[in-house]
Amino acid sequence: MFKYYLMPQEMNETIPQNAEISHPYGKKRTRLAVSLFYYGQGVCFASWASRIADIKSNLHLSDALLGSILLALPLGQLITMPLSGKLTATYGSKKILTFATPFYALALVSIAFVNAGWQLPVALLFFGISGNLCNISLNTQAVAAENFYGKPIMSSFHGSWSLGMFSGALIGLLMMNLQAGLFTHFIVVAALTWLHISINHKFLVKGNKPATAQKPKIFVKPPSVLVQLGVIAFCSMATEGAMMDWSGVYFKEIVQAPARWVILGYASYAATMTFGRFLGDRAIANYGRKRMLQVSGIIISVGMAISVVFPYLISATIGFMLVGIGVSVIIPMIYSIAGNHQKVPSSVAIAMVSSIAYFGFLMGPPLIGYISELSSLKYSYALIGCFGILITVMVSKLNAIK
C-alpha cells in the first residue's frame, strides 16, 4: 500500500491522481512538521474547551441555552465537509492547511470578544468552519506524508493531537490559576500557533496532480466502500463521544466512586488512547490494518462488558483503559484507508467518511442519555459495547481492507 513518490527529476512513471509528492527535505522533518500541526490543533481546541465554564458564567447562560449554542460548532464543521474536500483536492492539502490553520487560531481569539449570548454561536460557527478546513486538509496531508514515509505513521499523528489536547488543558489550567482573561489566554495560544506555522509549513508535503485531472465536485455519491468505512468510523466516534461526555457520570452514579476518583474513568481512557496511538503504527505494520481493526472492535466490547458487569472502581477503570486502547487506532486507520482510495481524491474521500463518522460523535452522547433515562446508564454503555462487535463484523466482511 505504501509507495515512495519521488521528486520530479527522479520520476520514471506516472503519478496517481490521488498522489502527493514531497520536497527535498527529509522524511523525519516532514513527519515532525505534520505532527506539530496535529499538536497545534489539539492545543487550540482544548484551549476553547478549558474555558467553556468561564464563558458560560460571563454570559450568564443557562445549561439548556449553552447546550443549544454549543451545537453551532459541530454545525460549522458538518456544513463545511463537502467544501473542505473540494478545496483541498483542487489546491492541495499544503496550501489549504497553511491558509486554514492561522484562521483557526484567529477564530479562537474571536471567541474572547464575545460579550452577548447571540454572538457566541456566530463565533463558534466560524471556529467550526475553520476547524473543519484544518481537519480535512491535515488528514489529507497526513495520508500524503504516510505514503512518502513508506510505512504506517497515521496513528502517531493522531497521538500528537491527543497530546495537544492534554497540553491545551494544562495551559488553560495555568491561565485560570494566573487569573488571565480569555483574550490573554487565546492570543498567547494563537501567537504560538502562528509561530509554529511560519516555521513548519515549508516542510509539509506538496501536492502534485496531473493537469488532466478532473475538477472534484462538491457533492458526489460516495462509493459503497467509503460508506462502509464511514459506518465503522461512526461506531468508533460514538464510543469516543460517550466516553468523553459520560465517563464521569458513570463513575459517579454507577461505580459510585469517591468524589476525588470520579475523574479516574476518563483519565484512564484518555491515557491509554493516547498511548495506543503512539504504539499503533508498529502494530499496524506487523499485523495489518484488517486484523488491527478486528481486534480493536473486540477490545472495545470486552472493555465495555467489564465496566458494565463489574461496576467497581478497579474493574471499571481497567475496562475504560481497554476501551481507550480499542478506539485509539480505528479513526487513523480508517482515514488512511479512505485517503488511498483509487478513484476518489484523498481529501474528498476523507470528507465523505468524516461526514458519516461525525454523526456518531454527535449522536453518541445523546443516545446514552435517552437510554439511561428509560432504563439505566449501564444499559447505555452495554449498547456502546455492541458497536465494538459491529466494527469487527463489518471489517471482516470488507474486502477493501487488507
Burial of 165 (0-12, 13-18, 19+ CB in 10 A): buried
* CA atoms lying within 13 Å on the CB side of residue 36: 20
pLDDT in the model for residue 200: 94
pLDDT in the model for residue 207: 60
Look at residue 330 and tell me whether its pLDDT is greater than 50: yes
When pLDDT is averaged across residues 152-181 and rounded to a whole number, the result is 90
289-300: pLDDT as tens digits: 999 999 999 999
Q: Per-residue confidence at 215, pLDDT binned at 50, 70, 90? A: low
Q: Per-residue confidence at 69, pLDDT binned at 50, 70, 90? A: confident
Q: Per-residue confidence at 7, pLDDT binned at 50, 70, 90? A: very low
- Position of cell 498522489? 19
Least confident range from 71-85, 116-130, 170-184, 201-215: namely 201-215
When pLDDT is averaged across residues 67-96 and rounded to a whole number, the result is 87
pLDDT in the model for residue 11: 28
CA distances from 387 to 66, 107, 193, 198, 399 (A): 29, 35, 36, 42, 20
Look at residue 211 and tell me whether its pLDDT is greater than 50: no
Q: Per-residue confidence at 12, pLDDT binned at 50, 70, 90? A: very low
pLDDT in the model for residue 13: 29
CA 332-338-340 angle, to 5 degrees, is 105
pLDDT in the model for residue 218: 52
Collapse the DSSP code of 206 into the 3-class scheme (helix H, G, I; strand E, B; otherwise coil) and give the result. Answer: strand
Look at residue 136 and tell me whether its pLDDT is greater than 50: yes
Give backbone dihedrals phi and psi of 400, rounded to 5 degrees, phi first.
-70, -15
Locate all alpha helices (DSSP H) within 182-223, ordered by sequence. Answer: 182-200
CB atoms < 10 A from the CB of 281, how many? 22
238-281: pLDDT as tens digits: 898 888 778 888 888 899 988 788 878 888 888 899 999 999 99
Look at residue 212 and tell me whether its pLDDT is greater than 60: no
Look at residue 343 and tell me whether its pLDDT is greater than 50: yes
pLDDT in the model for residue 22: 43
CA 186-187-191 angle, to 5 degrees, is 120
pLDDT in the model for residue 244: 77
Least confident range from 3-12, 32-41, 283-292: namely 3-12
Instruction: Give the global pTM.
Output: 0.83
